[in-house]
Amino acid sequence: MPMKIDLHSHTRYSDGKLSVDELLMRAHTMMLDVLAITDHDSVAAIEPAIRWQTEQKRPMRIVPGVELSCAWHGFDIHILGFQINHQCPTFLARLEEQSQRRVDRAERICAKLEKAGIQGVLPEAMALAQLPDGAAGQITRAHIARALVNRGEVIDFDQAFKKYLGKGKKAHVKPDWISIEKGISWIKGAGGQAVLAHPGRYDLSAKWLRRLVSEFAAFGGQGLELSQGQLALQKWQFLAELAKEHKLMGSVGSDFHGPSRWCELGRNLRLPDNIQPLWHDWPIN
Ligand code: AMP
Ligand code: MN
Ligand code: MN
Ligand code: MN
């Protein structure tokens, strides 16, 4: 049996809907051998995840990961970090900076919502981002979207982005995330490998995508996320060619945020045959 690997998942420490334990239980049910937890700008789930797994009979490797929010020519670009030292004090201080940026941005988004006549979303979104034990998870636009849905301002999550939170919409705030160069260096500084997340999901033309991948590689990025699950075959092949051209390894992940019809841990994840897996030299093989 080939190993079942999923290198992209979220918990309640960012915008995932499941607690750490719930996520890991589901990963066991889905028969995963390796799971990376990659919360937005947070590694808070890693320690409890490792602790929970050590108490299990069924083996499963937890890969310490992160998904950093970066900005590139006005686009939100996500960079995944794997095998990071999640206790590195410098890295944790840097994540604290990102956290502050997230709170500032949430305040600015909610101020724009107030101008559009929707009052009091910030405390609701902050409450949704809180864990049951009172710890604060990273506040994301997903929490603001959920608050808008709960209040009946929009019919669903998607509409919250289409009407208010998406690029160019009423309550959009231009991202002031770190550069992709900085994102890569933060991850490598914490001993990790940097991978460009879901390259097929940015709203970029082929020409700009080419440019993004080429800059990502030039700045020392090591991999491209090439999960076939969410991609049209043609785009998947295009991205695989770009990976080859820039000598990038391949990574796979479901970007699991919680149970849904469209997304499942470990489902439909396959690398093109001629791409070197990011995990080829990890101590899991
Ligand atoms: P943030 O990182 O705070 O900008 O929040 C963005 C998160 O919202 C993403 O990580 C997705 O999980 C979620 N999301 C869901 N639908 C959309 C959408 N249409 N556009 C942007 N983000 C979305
Ligand atoms: Mn998310
Ligand atoms: Mn992402
Ligand atoms: Mn993600």
Mean pLDDT of the region 134-143: 96
Confidence of residue 82 (pLDDT cuts 50, 70, 90): very high
Q: What pLDDT score was predicted for residue 228? A: 72
Which residues sit with Cβ closer than 5 angstroms to ligand 2, an ion? 15
Three-state SS at 57: coil
Ligand 1 atom 14, closest CA = 142
Atom from ligand 1 closest to the CA of residue 257: 12
For residue 117, the CA-to-ligand 4 centroid distance in Å is 31
Pocket of ligand 1 (CB under 6 A): 15, 40, 69, 76, 140-142, 161, 166, 257
Q: What pLDDT score was predicted for residue 101? A: 97
Mean pLDDT of the region 92-108: 97
Tokens of 237: 């092949």
Task: Say which range, 58-72, 141-155, 206-220, 265-279, has the weakest mean pLDDT.
Answer: 265-279
pLDDT tops 90 at residue 62? yes
- The H or E element spanning position 231 is none
Long-range CB contacts (< 8 A, 24+ apart) of 46-54? 46/86, 47/86, 48/20, 48/21, 49/11, 49/20, 49/23, 49/24, 52/20, 52/21, 52/24, 53/24
| Cβ atoms 187, 219 nearer than 8 A | no
For residue 248, the CA-to-ligand 2 centroid distance in Å is 24
Mean pLDDT of the region 88-104: 97
Atom from ligand 1 closest to the CA of residue 69: 2
Ligand 1 binding pocket mutation candidate from 99, 141, 149, 173 (most atoms within 8 A of CB)? 141
Confidence of residue 175 (pLDDT cuts 50, 70, 90): confident
* Tokens 């209040």 sit on residue: 151
For residue 7, the CA-to-ligand 2 centroid distance in Å is 14
Where in 123-235 does DSSP place strands (E)? 178-179, 193-196, 223-225
Q: What is the pTM of this model?
A: 0.97
For residue 268, the CA-to-ligand 2 centroid distance in Å is 19
Mean pLDDT of the region 227-240: 85
Confidence of residue 4 (pLDDT cuts 50, 70, 90): very high
Q: What pLDDT score was predicted for residue 187? A: 98
Q: What pLDDT score was predicted for residue 270? A: 87
Strands 75-82 and 34-37, sheet pairing: unpaired
pLDDT tops 90 at residue 2? no
Question: Could you tell me what percent of the chain has a pLDDT over 70?
Answer: 99
Q: What pLDDT score was predicted for residue 54? A: 98
Ligand 1 binding pocket mutation candidate from 140, 172, 256, 257 (most atoms within 8 A of CB)? 140
Q: Considering the chain, what is the average pLDDT of its residues?
A: 96
